[in-house]
Amino acid sequence: MEFKRAYLACTAFMDTQVGKIFDKLTELELWDNTIVIFASDHGYHLGEHAWWNKVTVFEQGARAPFIAWVPGKTSPGTRTSSLIEFVDLYPTLAELCGLNPPHALDGKSFAPILNNPNHPGKTAAYTQVVRGQLMGRSVRTEQWRYTEWDFGREGIELYAHPQDPKEYHNLANKADLAGIQQKLKALLDKNFTAK
């Protein structure tokens, strides 16, 4: 319980600091010409899945807070379920600021989502963690999360979203989902080449 109290205190402190920045933007009348991106890491598990740390690829350990304010784009409070990754931040800011990146980028601009929150965005987002000597890698699509531990030698997980958003029902190796699992594995292998 003490751990949770400390975690919530840290979150409340951070909220207060962000509020001070927002108050200053209002005071100086900067909202109409300032892009604001609020992003964080994914935080800690607080007992979910019997974990009390960060080293998982469950949705709660991979998904992160992300809020964007861009003058002239979508209305405040607009939400999207489109997939983006932190690697997309640089190309997005470059595009929004009318800058040409100095080299090829791994990410993809999510500016189209800011114009239309129903824009599909990316087809997949990727997560990788190392737990001791064990690597976990995961791909998340709109409907699924597929995870391999040590390239499948130490376990495979498959979760259906949105039916199981907290990922408590591992559907890996179910015969009727073999085709889906194979497609997700191919996506993961395509983007993680080191064995």
Distance (Å, whole) CA 78 – CA 99? 26
pLDDT of 194 higher than 60: no
pLDDT of 195 higher than 70: no
pLDDT at 109: 95
Structure tokens at 166: 């907290």
Selection from 78, 83, 114 nearest residue 96 by Cα: 114
pLDDT at 193: 59
pLDDT at 102: 85
Residue pLDDT, tens place only, 8-27? 898 899 999 999 999 999 99
Residue pLDDT, tens place only, 24-59? 999 999 999 999 999 988 777 877 888 877 788 999
The pLDDT of 70-97, averaged and rounded, is 92
pLDDT band, very low/low/confident/very high, at 108 (cuts 50, 70, 90): very high
pLDDT at 45: 80
Check the CA dihedral 96-100-101-103 and report its sign. positive
pLDDT band, very low/low/confident/very high, at 92 (cuts 50, 70, 90): very high
Residue pLDDT, tens place only, 113-156? 999 999 988 999 999 999 889 999 999 999 999 999 999 999 99
The pLDDT of 165-182, averaged and rounded, is 96
Write the CB contacts of 111 (distance below 8 Å, at least 6 apart in sequence): 92, 95, 96
The pLDDT of 76-91, averaged and rounded, is 92
Q: Is the pTM of this model over 0.85?
A: yes
Q: What is the CA radius of gyration of the chain?
A: 19
